[in-house]
Structure 1
Amino acid sequence: MNSIQNKSPRIIAMVGMAGAGKTEASRLFEQSGYTRVRFGDVTDDEVKRRGLPLNEANERTVREALRVELGMAAYAKLNLPRIDAALKNGPAVIDGLYSWEEYIFLKDYYKDDLAVAAVWASPATRARRLSTRSVRPLTREETFSRDRAEVEKVSKAGPIAVADYMILNEGGFDELTAQVRALIDNLKAE
């Protein structure tokens, strides 16, 4: 865990492939006093507004439609008021930064107040986790399909590559918790 910044950022944006542990890491930040802004809420709300069931196919359709309409920074743009509102109460954690364009949009807007934490787990580990999760479980094939779409169509690899912090999540929840708490303590010390 190393940052090039001289002060603690007010916003930590979690990025990682599906099943890497972004949401769990974000919840740990939330438990430490950060306000959590889940980018995926925009998708869920739009799927429900359209009267569709929440599933991978409908979520992907909505994500892609929003990006066609608003550009690849759509989720950053749509969540900007929520992030600004969260910052009024203290630091914020973004659960689910996706695209390079979202990263650039937010970095241009927030400057050094934004840092990225990438949560990484192997494809096999993520597929196992996603197949057993209680909300929106994915098959191995759906996991691979989503990975491919996120790398090829969403440019998700960029924010992972330039992350200020890296959290390796191949172990269990206790190991993840220890790493995230160490990062939070590191941020408080900056």
Structure 2
Amino acid sequence: MNDFPVIGVVGPPASGKTEVASKFEDLGAVRIRMGDIAWEEVKKRGLEVNEKNVGKVSNELREEEGMGAVAKHCIPVIKEGVKENKPVVVDGIRGIAEVEVFEEEFGDNFVLISVEAPPEVRYSRVRGRGREDDTVDWKSFKEKDSRERNWGLEEAMESSDYRIVNICSLDELEKRTSEIYREVMDEYSN
């Protein structure tokens, strides 16, 4: 079905998933952002895109359709990306059920990368980036962390093929990401 790998990126909020996925995109991959699925659903329901509504709708999708719901909604988008004859990077995996959906759909073509950073480092990043769905205080940040852990985040991270501990400079993160990308593409071409 697919001549290129589907590379999933998993990690807690503000760990650096998007930086890793963006670097993969710079290196030639098609980037799919899982959060776009939740954002679109929030908009369809006539709600404002913010952390509270995105979290609520994400939970509702999982309650209604199972813990792998967001991943299932991503599969058609990923398949469109694959048609470009490039690797696809999936930004924002949040739980083990999503990993299982992708493994079932893409088999050996699916590779998972975990991006990690301590909570204090991640909270500092959140405070500096100002995204619509970001938390604004420590309590909300911890609640979001807890919610995503309940989605099977830690199990997903433990199942990864590659691990990045992102407490380094952006240059170092990009270097490590490039190394992993080359390894994946070399292994895949063999």
Any residues of structure 2 matched to 1:149-164 within 5 Å, and which? 149-152=147-150, 154-164=151-161
SS in 1 for 2:73: helix
> Residue 28 of structure 2 is aligned with which of 7, 30, 33?
33
2:176 counterpart residue number: 179
Mapped partners of 1:188, 1:48: distance in 2: 36
Contact 1:131 1:140 in 2 (8 A): no
Contact 2:14 2:126 in 1 (8 A): yes
- Structure 1's unaligned 5+ residue stretches are 1-7
1:189 counterpart residue number: 186
Contact 2:4 2:82 in 1 (8 A): no
Q: What is the identity, as a one-letter code, of the residue corresponding to 2:167? A: E
TM normalised by structure 1 equals: 0.91
Out of 164-173 and 45-54, give the one that drifted further: 45-54
1:87 counterpart residue number: 82
Aligned Cα root-mean-square deviation (Å): 1.4
Deviations 1:107-143 (A, max 9, x none): 1121110010000111110010011112134222221
* 1:52 CA displacement: 1.6
Q: What is the identity, as a one-letter code, of the residue corresponding to 1:98? A: R
TM normalised by structure 2 equals: 0.91
Mapped partners of 2:158, 2:53: distance in 1: 28
Mapped partners of 1:63, 1:145: distance in 2: 14
Contact 2:115 2:164 in 1 (8 A): yes
Contact 1:9 1:115 in 2 (8 A): no
Deviations 1:61-97 (A, max 9, x none): 1001111111111011101101111111121000011
* 1:9 CA displacement: 6.3
Mapped partners of 2:27, 2:164: distance in 1: 17
Any residues of structure 2 matched to 1:125-136 within 5 Å, and which? 125-136=121-132
Any residues of structure 2 matched to 1:24-173 within 5 Å, and which? 24-89=19-84, 90-136=86-132, 137-138=134-135, 139-152=137-150, 154-173=151-170
Mapped partners of 2:24, 2:125: distance in 1: 21
SS in 1 for 2:93: coil
- Count of residues in correspondence between the two structures: 182
